[in-house]
Structure 1
Amino acid sequence: MVRPPRRAAALAAAGAALLAVAGCTGGPGAAVPALTPPALGTPAPPPSGREGMLQLPLSAYGLSSDESARQQQAVRALTADCMHRAGYTSFTGDDAFDGGSGRVSDANAMPGGAFGYLPATVAPVQGFHAARPPAAPAPPRAPSSEAERGAAEDCVRKALAALPTGDRAGSDLVTRLFGESQAATAKDARVVAATRAWAGCMTAAGYPDATPDGLVARYRGPGSPGRDELAAAEADAACTTGSNLAGIWFAVIAGYQRQQIAANQERLAAYKDEVARQVAGYARLIGS
């Protein structure tokens, strides 16, 4: 299978609103409205970390996973059309990218984070390591020549350039708001108390000075999880349940995000409309 330049592949695969959780700070002079501690009710943890992130209010803005897949489908279609015009009539959209393996399940994709460890059933198997996706359905097709490889890379670049342009300012706003909501959540007294209860539980389990993010950073890496990692993940899962850290963390961040959306309602609505136009453009490109 023809592999496009790394940057092109990354751009074509860009999408899920989940990626916005990496968020940072706003631009110079950006006004940051005051956030007040939201009411929680009875916070319940989500089934998994990925589902929790995708259910957050700000995740409704930007490309969804399905829309991101449509974006890549448009790139595949444009690339195949370009290759046919270049004389490679047997080239298909599936040859444009290494499709890789399938999507890992929600439970396995994001079990650990600042919210603790979810779900407990994954801990004794996966530890803090990233889940392995299922095997690709078919082996990749190798390019017939260096000329075909070069033509495919050129066609991918042209396909990416032909995509409807997104609202960069809107995307930057969502990223900034995500970052601000995460910062406010980390300082929220209820999250601080739940994290302290989690840490006390972990100390009693033999893991003094542990932090949720620190455990992920310590163990996640190449290779398979060892006994120590699996034991730490199981302790983390038990302490997350006992402290309700995940339930409180997700309820708090969702409350802050609802305040942010209310304060930026007009701009976010315009961004959502722009994303809808962008997705409609993908459909037109696929159809043509």
Structure 2
Amino acid sequence: MRPIAARATVLLLSAALLTACSSESDGGGGDGSAQEPAIGTIPRMLSTTGLSYPLDAYATTDDQRRKLEQAQARVTSDCMKRFGFDFELPLTPAVGGRSDDSRYGLTDATVAARYGYVPNRGAQPPAKPPTQVLGASGKLALSGPTDYKGPQPMSLEEARGKDSGKALNGQKVPVGGCIREGYLTVYAPKKGAVDAMFVTNLTMDANSRSREDSRVVAAVKAWSACMAEKGYTVDEPVSPQSDLGLNPNTYGGPKAIAAAKQDVACKEKANLVGIWYTVETAYQKRGIEQNAETLNQAKTELNERLKLAATLAG
């Protein structure tokens, strides 16, 4: 067998994850509320290192995610062996180096002065493990028949009742192939499970709502005005590179470093991080109140999923 790029397999994995998200989820935010939540005292802060959020209590940690991914890879591999293929699903490489929370853009003055806007500075992912080239039969086993017209199963229980119409080595190919069987085994073994992306969607929804909050909008305007005083016309604090006339080849150049240093200084002057963090936290708390029952179910299912993963990963 010849090596195959791991990236293609990771893309297949991502597709399986995205397809598995329930269409019934509205992003976790429910109907939301037009009224902006109360926030109390706003702290002055700039660093995002070590920040915690209310929804962290329900989120999957990096270590837990790794364990779940390992279990999914094992189930996928075992499924492929049923069809005569010795296939190892590559795991997402762990990224070394700095891991700053960049949800509010660049906030570290030391990093700005040294790297400008260069992302993932110092991070060198380890080489991906070799896998296999798959012919038509192998691709069929891995991803299922491409001509299957029915809806994708949303649980392992449902998948076992569906017929893809294809077989290999005298065995039926699962709808969605082994990669979907692996996903459903770990994330949705039974009907009625909470969407595995529910907490993530709720977190993203809170961030999106906070970005439109009048208090954050005012802070962004203050940051933008500060930048304008130094000759920079920008209104996007998270990703100002384009407005600054930068491209990936110049993110670490002198122009970028000068702008990055001013960016951080203006965030500190406007207390953008303190305001945004406080407002986003308030939206997360509201999301928890509106979705308490579902979040508790998601937490219970995560614990059950981790127990299952421990038995599957070997």
Normalised by the size of structure 1, how large is the TM-score? 0.72
Q: Does 1:130 align with 2:119?
A: yes
Q: Is the 8 A contact 1:38 1:256 kept in 2?
A: no
Q: Which has the larger radius of gyration?
A: 2
Letter in 1 for 2:95: G
Amino acid at match of 1:267: T
What amino acid is the match of 2:311?
R
C-alpha distance in 2 between matches for 1:96 and 1:184: 38
- CA distances 1:201-257 after superposition (whole Å, capped 9, x unpaired): 211221134431451454676435233222211110111122221122112211232
Q: Please state if 1:186 is matched with 2:190.
A: no
The equivalent residue for 2:68 is 71
Closer, same or farther: CA 246–281 of 1 in aligned 2, 3 Å: same
In structure 2, the CA distance between the partners of 1:178 and 1:43, relative to structure 1 (3 Å rule), is farther
Q: Deviations over 1:109-152 (max 9, x none)?
A: x44x5x35211121133333421564344564253775896488
**Which runs of no fewer than 5 residues in structure 2 stay unpaired?**
19-24, 144-177
Contact 2:206 2:287 survives alignment (8 Å) = no
State the AA in 2 paired with 1:207: Y
Instruction: Specify the alignment match of 2:188 in structure 1.
Output: 165
Greater per-residue helix proportion: 1
Unaligned runs of 5+ in 1: 15-24
Letter of the 1:118 partner, please give it. T
- Residues 61-120 of structure 1: per-residue CA shift (max 9 Å, x gap): 24222221112101222234345555566x6xxx4216446344223xx44x5x352111
- Superposition CA RMSD, Å: 3.7
1:228 maps to what in 2? 255
The CA distance in 1 between the partners of 2:123 and 2:204, in whole Å, is: 30
Label 1:177 to 1:116 Cα distance change in 2 as closer, same or farther (>3 A): closer
Partner of 1:208 in structure 2? 233
Equivalent pair of 1:43/1:247 in contact (CA under 8 Å): yes
Q: Which residue of 1 aligns with 2:151?
A: none
Letter in 2 for 1:203: A
Q: Percent identity at matched positions?
A: 25
> Equivalents in 1 of 2:294, 2:93: separation in Å?
36
The normalised TM-score by structure 2 is 0.67
Partner letter of residue 183 of structure 1?
Answer: R
Letter in 2 for 1:223: N
The CA deviation at 1:186 is: 3.2
Question: 1:19 maps to which residue?
Answer: none
Equivalent pairs counted in the alignment come to 263
Equivalent residue number for residue 224 of structure 2 = 199
Hey, what does 1:40 align to over in structure 2? 41
